[in-house]
Amino acid sequence: MKIRTGFGFDVHRLETGRPFFLGGVQIPHSHGALGHSDADVLIHALCDALLGAAGLGDIGIQFPDTDPAYKNIDSKILLSRVMDLLKAKNYRVGNVDATLVLEKPKISPYLTRMKETLTPILGIPYDDLSIKATTNEKMGFIGREEGVAAYAICLLESV
């Protein structure tokens, strides 16, 4: 069996009055992420990890932000399309590990729902998706609550 690893990173600016989507779940908060799609930074990092592992470029290549088709699109749809691309190359996901970096709000109450939302799309058991969250210790743009970042790594297995 051939295995491949991939890494993804994404960052989005935070603005008042925007809905805040993380890991496919809407989080109640004063701020939300700004972007062409629904700006779900965790799903975007995840998509880039998966695309990278499969040698399929990145989310910007597959779903250009100049294309009006992707305006405000639910990032779960982008993740589903990434999975279709992987299936076409005979890959399945082994496991995924991700870290969110943001100051507020506390993410732990939402981690279960994020995993319940994303694992069916990824086609993996609940325990094969790990999502962690940390603050940036009040330093830099994340510390000033101007932005949110996410990192993800994944393992792909050839079917």
**Which residues of this protein are in contact with Mg ion, per CB under 5 A?**
10, 44
Shortest CB 136 distance to Mg ion, Å: 18
**Is the CB of 83 or the CB of 147 nearer to Mg ion?**
147
* 81 vs 7: CA distance, rounded Å: 18
Minimum CB distance to Mg ion, residue 3 (Å): 26
Q: How far is the CB of 12 from Mg ion (least distance, A)?
A: 6
User: In terms of Cα–Cα distance, which of 157, 151, 147, 152 is closest to 32?
Assistant: 147
- Upper half-sphere CA count for residue 121 (Cβ side, 13 Å): 22
Q: Which residue is nearest to Mg ion (CB)?
A: 44
Smaller CB distance to Mg ion: residue 21 or 91?
21
Q: Which is nearer to Mg ion, 107 or 126 (CB)?
A: 107
User: What's the full length of the chain, in residues?
Assistant: 159
User: Which token pair is 121?
Assistant: 């799309």
Q: Which amino acid is at 58?
A: D
Q: Which is nearer to Mg ion, 71 or 138 (CB)?
A: 71
C-alpha 146/C-alpha 140 separation (Å) is 9
Closest distance to Mg ion from the beta carbon of 124 (Å): 22
The nearest distance, CB 44 to Mg ion, in angstroms, is 4
Q: What is the DSSP string of 96-118?
A: EEEEEE-SSS--GGGHHHHHHHH
Nearer of residues 10 and 103 to Mg ion, judged by Cβ: 10
